[in-house]
Structure formats: structure tokens, C-alpha cells
């Protein structure tokens, strides 16, 4: 059977690789994959989640990030990247779900992006803000199959957000922001 062909623009080993089978946008099959590509190393879901969390934390210029799930009235931290002034947040850490930030993030009483928790009228009154030294706070509820799964949280010990998520007053983000969209 003859296949329609297209020019491949990739450059491998210093030369154009020539013709490759044509495919529709979004269609991937084994015969259209790069024949010179090295096989991807095996990586566990936990390792991948850790790498993604690290990249997001670095991109937003935050000190600490975690993904947690809710289980029987508790929040169970599954993946962690970074630290915040020596705060002990590790996989398996399980604070009560009724914590001051968690309930407010899930209920929508706190915005997804808080550039300075020390000046926010709600978070400035919370003991957790002072105890953990929270400056900037980004969080979103995570949903799986239409049900609440847990939270995605990013913290920084000062109030600077390095990516323009909240810059010079020209843009502000609410719960329905792009950050909340990360959790889909």
C-alpha cells in the first residue's frame, strides 16, 4: 500500500532525514516516530510528577510546591519540591483537612493567586501565615473524574512573584485564573 509522503524538516546527524509518512494532525503511530530517537528512559509516575512539580515551582519562582490528595478528612502530601524556611513538608505529611488555607482554597474563599499573604485581609490573620512564613501563595483544587482529588500548592517566603502572574497592578487573577486552570 502506498502512503502519502511529506518532507521532514528535522535535522538528525547533520542532514535532513528525508521523507517520512504523512499523518493527520494529532495522529501518532510507531511508523511516524523518529527512527533515530533514543528510547525514553523508564520513569515512574512519582518521578514524573516530581519533575513536573519542580519545573512549575522554578518557573513561578517559588520556594516550596506540593501536590496532595484528600483522604478521610486529611490532606496527604504526595509529591514535594523545595522547602520553605526549613518547614518539614515531605511525601506522606498529613495535616488535618480543616487547615486554614486548604478549606478556603477548596471553597473558593481564597483566590488562586495571593501575591502577599501578609497583606491579604484573610491570610494575614491566619497563624499559619506567620508560622510558615508564607509570602506569596498560589493554589488550586485538583479534580479527577469530576470529583475533588486534592490541591496543588506553591509557596514563597516573600511577596515577589517572578513571572508576572501578578505584576504592577495591571493584571490580577482570581480563582478562575490561568493558575486555577492548571488543575483543569
Residue indicated by cell numbers 511577596: 159
How many Å apart are CA 125 and CA 22, to the nearest integer?
Answer: 60
Domain match, 91 and 8 both: no
Domain shared by 18 and 66, yes or no = no
Mean pLDDT of the chain: 74
Cα distances from 39 to residues 3, 27, 49, 101, 180, in angstroms, run: 26, 20, 20, 43, 34
pLDDT score for 161: 65
Domain that holds residue 59: 45-181
Number of domains in the chain: 2
58 and 28 both lie in a single domain: no
pLDDT tens digits for range 99-139: 778 888 888 899 989 999 999 999 999 988 888 889 999 99
Residue 125: per-residue pLDDT? 92
pLDDT per position in the chain (184 positions), as tens?
333 333 344 444 444 444 444 444 555 555 556 667 777 778 888 888 889 999 999 998 999 999 999 998 888 999 999 988 867 788 998 887 777 788 888 888 999 899 999 999 999 999 888 888 899 999 999 999 999 999 999 999 987 765 444 433 333 333 334 444 444 4
Q: How far is CA 34 from the centre of its chain?
A: 29
Report the C-alpha gap between 166 and 112 in whole angstroms. Answer: 11
Helix or strand run (H / E) with residue 46: helix 45-59
Neighbours of 67 (CB within 10 A): 22
Residues 17 and 102 in one domain: no
Residues 99 and 132 in one domain: yes
Q: Which residues of 22-49 are buried (b: 16+ CB within 10 A; e: fewer)?
A: eeeeeeeeeeeeeeeeeeeeeeeeeeee
Full DSSP string of 79-113: EEEE-STT----TT---BTT-HHHHHHHHTSS-SE
Q: Same domain, yes or no, for 1 and 85?
A: no
State the CATH number of the domain containing residue 99: 3.30.450.40
Amino acid at each position: 500500500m502506498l502512503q502519502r509522503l511529506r518532507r521532514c524538516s528535522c535535522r538528525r546527524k547533520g542532514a535532513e532525514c528525508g521523507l517520512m509518512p504523512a499523518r493527520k494532525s494529532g495522529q501518532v503511530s510507531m511508523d511516524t516516530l523518529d527512527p533515530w530517537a533514543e528510547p525514553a528512559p523508564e520513569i515512574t509516575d512519582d518521578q514524573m510528577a516530581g519533575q513536573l512539580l519542580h519545573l512549575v515551582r522554578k518557573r513561578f519562582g517559588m520556594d516550596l510546591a506540593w501536590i496532595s490528595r484528600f483522604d478521610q478528612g486529611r490532606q496527604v502530601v504526595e509529591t514535594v519540591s523545595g522547602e520553605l524556611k526549613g518547614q518539614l513538608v515531605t511525601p506522606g505529611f498529613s495535616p488535618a483537612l480543616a487547615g486554614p488555607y486548604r478549606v478556603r482554597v477548596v471553597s473558593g474563599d481564597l483566590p488562586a493567586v495571593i501575591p502577599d499573604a501578609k497583606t491579604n485581609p484573610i491570610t494575614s490573620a491566619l497563624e499559619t501565615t506567620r508560622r510558615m512564613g508564607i509570602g506569596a501563595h498560589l493554589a488550586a483544587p485538583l479534580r479527577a473524574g469530576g470529583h475533588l482529588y486534592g490541591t496543588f500548592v506553591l509557596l514563597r517566603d516573600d511577596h515577589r512573584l517572578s513571572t508576572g502572574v501578578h505584576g504592577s497592578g495591571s493584571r490580577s487573577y482570581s480563582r478562575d485564573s490561568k493558575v486555577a486552570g492548571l488543575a483543569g
